Amino acid sequence: MFDKHLIPNAQHLSEGSALHFQTEQTDFVIVKQKGELFAYENRCPHQKRSLNCSTEPFLDEEGDYLKCHHHGALFTPNDGQCIAGPCQGKALKRAILGVEKGNFYLLIGENNAAVA
């Protein structure tokens, strides 16, 4: 059984962009690539810090990769794998997304288990 958390405006997210989404307990980043949305816990596997710092964007300058602005790790948007930086070979924790009537939801299970 999951709790559904509506992600406002996720359906309008433009290609190659990302948005920040928070629940009471966890912080997420939602990214769109090749027409598909992906959600990850906003926590870098390097030092468990948020990928973004204050107003820094979630994506690199070209909009191709999720970027941790602390030490520059880059992650592929479609699977969260770190392909460059100090945590290369590790991955962001993916979260579960659901769609209902055109709206996107983050699905959080028992014990706040949103990650797949």
The residues binding ligand FES (CB under 6 A) are 44, 46-47, 49, 68, 70-71, 73, 85-87
Please state the closest distance from residue 102 (CB atom) to ligand FES, in A.
34
For residue 109, give both structure tokens: 């299970």
Q: Which is nearer to ligand FES, 30 or 51 (CB)?
A: 51
Q: Which is nearer to ligand FES, 68 or 97 (CB)?
A: 68
Please state the closest distance from residue 110 (CB atom) to ligand FES, in A.
29
Q: Which is nearer to ligand FES, 70 or 94 (CB)?
A: 70
Distances (CA, A) of 102 to 28, 37, 39, 52, 96: 20, 12, 16, 28, 16
> Is 52 exposed, middle or buried (CB count within 10 Å of its CB: 0-12, 13-18, 19+)?
buried
Please state the closest distance from residue 70 (CB atom) to ligand FES, in A.
4
DSSP 8-class letter at 57: -
